[in-house]
Chain A
Amino acid sequence: MTPDLFLLLAAALFAVGLYGALSQQSVVMIMMGLELMINGVIVAAASFWYFVAPAQPDGQVLVLVVISAMTVEMAMGFAVVTLLFRAKDADTTDMAAELRR
């Protein structure tokens, strides 16, 4: 196993997530895309820790921070979707475009 392989996996996860985040209309599906992107970041950070500097805990702590960011993204995303849905019955991004006007 080399860092290259793990970074390729991370890149693939990130790209799949990016496709989802850009192409989906449903807010929930966009969040799934974002989760996949963050997953790629987790893999990359973990592999850097293992293959570059395993003696220090920095890489592991970075993974912990990224996992926390993922939970925050999920909680806030669903809160905003719930708010939008309550206020306007909107569950897709195209239905919530007031700021364009």
Chain B
Amino acid sequence: MEALLFWSLAVVAVGAGIAVFRVDSMARATYALALSFVAVGLALLLLDLAYLGVVTVLMMVMEMAIMAVFMIMFMMNPAGLMPMSMVHNRRGALALSVGVFLSLAAVALLTPWPERRGTVPEDPTRAVGTGVMETKMLVMIGVGAVLFTTIVAALVLSASRSRYDVRGGRR
């Protein structure tokens, strides 16, 4: 049963990922990506990662909702009424990505992964919570600082030119 669930989630995740670059509409591409992310989040639930799986799903759904807005703002043909192809070096990209997949798959299948040490804790969510609050506190502090920096940097970059603009006003 679990294997069947995993395979169907895996097929949805990869299939929707491929669809992102095949569909003609930006909005559809965004929803395909969201679907792929949701499938990955559900696959994490198979690994007993209740918290991280749900966080992944929630974050991605929100992220894609925002992305859809940007998509429609920046892209021509958001509705997908005409064929859309904006690619360069398709053959090279395809060859490279197939090569990367084959080598990663070979590593995954041929490496003798170590034996499992220990067992899954009673409550993995509690384990990660105490982890980031005790032994991995530095990670938490670092991530907090980075996220705050990101907020400031993103605003500075994307805000319309302000009084700090040397040239004065829009060009």
Q: Which residues 12-56 of A have a CB within 8 angstroms of B?
A: 12-20, 22-29, 32-33, 35-36, 39, 42-43, 46-47, 49-56
A55 CA to B52 CA, complexed, in Å: 16
A60 to chain B, nearest CB (A): 4
**Cα distance A11–B130 in the bound complex, in angstroms:** 31
- Name the one of B20, B36, B100 contacting A18, with C-beta atoms under 8 angstroms: B100
Q: Which of B47-65 contact A (CB under 8 A)?
A: 47-49, 52, 55-56, 59, 63
Nearest CB on A from B51, distance (A): 8
Supposing A20-B20, A22-B92, A78-B70 touch, asked if A1 and B2 sit within 8 A by C-beta, the answer is yes
Please name all residues of chain B whose beta carbon is closer than 8 Å to the beta carbon of A72 when the two chains form the complex. 146-147, 150
- Residue A100, interface by CB 8 Å: no
Does B40 lie within 8 Å of A54, measured CB to CB?
no
| A54 near B121: Cβ-Cβ < 8 Å | yes
Interface size class, chain B: 35 or more
The 24 sampled A-B contact pairs (Cβ below 8 Å) are A3-B113, A13-B13, A13-B14, A16-B97, A22-B96, A28-B71, A32-B29, A39-B13, A39-B17, A43-B40, A46-B52, A49-B49, A52-B114, A52-B116, A60-B124, A61-B131, A61-B136, A64-B132, A68-B143, A74-B67, A76-B150, A79-B158, A86-B170, A91-B75
Residues 80-94 of A at the B interface (beta carbon under 8 Å): 80-83, 85-87, 91-92, 94
Cα–Cα, bound, A101→B87 (Å)? 23
Complex formed: what's the CA distance from A42 to B52 in Å?
10
State how many angstroms separate the Cβ of B49 from the closest Cβ of chain A: 6
**B11-28 CB contacts (< 8 Å) to partner A:** 13-14, 17-18, 20-21, 26
Interface size class of A (residues with CB under 8 A): 35 or more
A65 touches B143 (CB 8 A): yes
Is B74 in contact with chain A by the CB < 8 A criterion? Answer: yes
B109 CB-CB contact with A under 8 Å: yes
Q: Does A5 contact B (CB under 8 A)?
A: yes
Which 4 A-B residue pairings sit nearest by Cβ, starting from the closest? A55-B118, A57-B131, A15-B101, A7-B108
